[in-house]
């Protein structure tokens, strides 16, 4: 099972696009990639979940860990997600109140200043 993890630069943010299924098998690679980025001094990260087909609590744990790590560096971790089945996992666990979730990378890049495109 492949997990795609591509990084690109967008207006001061590292955008990590995740593709595939995030579960107990693939989550360690996702966690390592996030830790690498933080280690490279990338403290403003957008995780784009639009290509994710499946995400369970292990994936949520990686995101919570990433957010905690970034906040300790005065950074932030923003999410991009419009898929209802993925959003539902955040809603059930109450994590919609912990993460800022946007409907596109563009909205996330600009959205933390004006709130536009922030869906949750």
Partner 1 sequence: MPEEAGAGEVIELEIPARAEFVALARLVVSALAASDSNLADERIDDLKLAVSEACTNAIEAHDAAGSDERVLLRCRTDDDSLEICVEDRGHGFDPSQLPDHPPVTDPDRLKFERGLGIPLIRALVDEVEFSPTGHGTAVRLVMRNGANGAR
Contact residues for partner 1 (CB under 8 A)?
1, 21, 23-25, 54, 56-58, 60-62, 64-65, 67-68, 71, 85, 88-89, 92-95, 97-98
Tell the smallest beta-carbon distance from residue 52 to partner 1 (Å): 13
SS (H, E, C) the chain: CCEEEEEEEECCEEEEEEEEEECCCCHHHHHHHHHHHHHCCCCEEEEEEEEEEEECHHHHHHHHHHHHHHHCCCCEEEEECCCHHHHHHHHHHCHHHCCEEECCHHHHHHHHHHCCCECC
Tell the smallest beta-carbon distance from residue 106 to partner 1 (Å): 27
Nearer to partner 1 among residue 98 and residue 104 (C-beta) = 98
Tell the smallest beta-carbon distance from residue 10 to partner 1 (Å): 25
């Amino acid at each position: 099972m492949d997990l795609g993890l591509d990084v690109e630069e967008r207006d001061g943010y590292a955008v990590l696009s995740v593709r595939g299924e995030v579960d107990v098998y693939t989550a360690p690679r996702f966690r390592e990639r996030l830790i690498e980025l933080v280690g490279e001094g990338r403290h403003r990260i957008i995780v784009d979940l639009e290509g994710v087909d499946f995400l369970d609590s292990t994936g949520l744990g990686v995101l919570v860990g990433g957010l905690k790590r970034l906040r300790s560096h005065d950074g932030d971790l923003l999410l991009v997600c419009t898929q209802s089945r993925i959003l539902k996992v955040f809603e059930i666990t109450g994590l919609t109140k912990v993460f800022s979730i946007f409907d596109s990378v563009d909205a996330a890049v600009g959205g933390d200043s004006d709130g536009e495109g922030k869906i949750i």
